[in-house]
A and B are shown apart, each in its own frame.
Chain A
């Protein structure tokens, strides 16, 4: 069975500081991994996805994530936080033959302080 664990339900950074949101996955088959962002009272927006190509994936709004098979991790980073980055972030996993069913982590709330 596949699962996702997001370490830290709440992360607080200062504006301009590095953002690091942690995600570890469990999968017995090669995974497809995703990061989504959810702003208050809105649906989910895809930030980036890993589909077995390059291990360093670049997404929208300056975010990127690195797939590390040995660590079963897919952490999300951004060099410099902006106030507009404050939101809920979800890591998700799926796999081939899974009909695209996404399995989400519990989410991490990112707070950006001025």
Chain B
């Protein structure tokens, strides 16, 4: 079975631009979470979606938004990019939203903002 897939693998954007990152969960998984991993640090929680509803939000500005589609795939949008948004963005999927459900991570999207 395919694991969590993310696209694109890498991208380079300029300050002030907008970016959309995509995630496809493991088949049968209904929950998707997004994390930001800045170089040299641990991942930071951004959002969790379950059944197309937001179930959790981390301490990120309103420039960050996300949504989940009927097929459970998800998009993460970041507006007005800043240099500090350069990071590896990880998507994780799980069967459900609770702590007992194991989260499976994708390979990530490496975003560079210049």
A101 in contact with B56 given A94-B99, A107-B42 (CB within 8 Å): yes
- Residue of A45, A100, A105 near B48 (CB, 8 A) is A100
- Chain B window 22-60, contacts with chain A (Cβ cutoff 8 Å), 1 for yes, 0 for no: 000000000101010000111111001010000110100
Q: Given contacts A100-B33, A101-B56, are A90 and B42 in contact (CB under 8 A)?
A: yes
Q: A44-B105, A95-B99 are in contact. Are A102 and B90 (CB under 8 A)?
A: no
Q: Are A105 and B99 in contact (CB under 8 A)?
A: no
On whether A100 and B105 interact (CB within 8 A), knowing A43-B90, A90-B42, A94-B99, the answer reads no
Pick from A4, A92, A99, A103: contact of B98, CB below 8 A.
Answer: A99
Residue of A nearest to B56 (CB): A99
B108 near A100 with CB under 8 A, answer no
**Chain B residues with Cβ under 8 A from A51's Cβ?**
99-100
**Which residues of chain A are within 8 angstroms of B107 by Cβ–Cβ distance?**
41-43
Known: A43-B108, A44-B105, A45-B105. Is A100-B42 also a contact (CB below 8 A)? no
Residue of B nearest to A98 (CB): B99
Count how many chain B residues have C-beta atoms less than 8 Å from C-beta atoms of the other chain: 31
Q: How long is the Cα–Cα vector from A46 to B101 in the complex, in angstroms? A: 12
Q: What is the chain A residue whose CB lies nearest that of B4?
A: A43
B41, B42, B102 pick with most chain A CB within 10 angstroms:
B42
Smallest beta-carbon distance A90→chain B, Å? 5
C-alpha spacing A100/B103, complex, angstroms: 8
Docked-complex contact B99 and A104, CB < 8 angstroms:
no
CA distance A44 to B90 in the complex (A): 9
Interface positions, chain A 58-114, Cβ under 8 Å from B, are 90, 92, 94-107
Report whether A90 and B102 are in contact in the complex, using a CB–CB cutoff of 8 Å: no
Residues on B facing A (Cβ under 8 Å): 4, 31, 33, 35, 40-45, 48, 50, 55-56, 58, 90, 92, 94, 96-108
Q: Can you report 10 residue pairs joining A to B where beta carbons are below 8 Å apart?
A: A98-B56, A99-B50, A99-B56, A99-B98, A100-B99, A102-B43, A102-B45, A103-B45, A104-B44, A106-B42
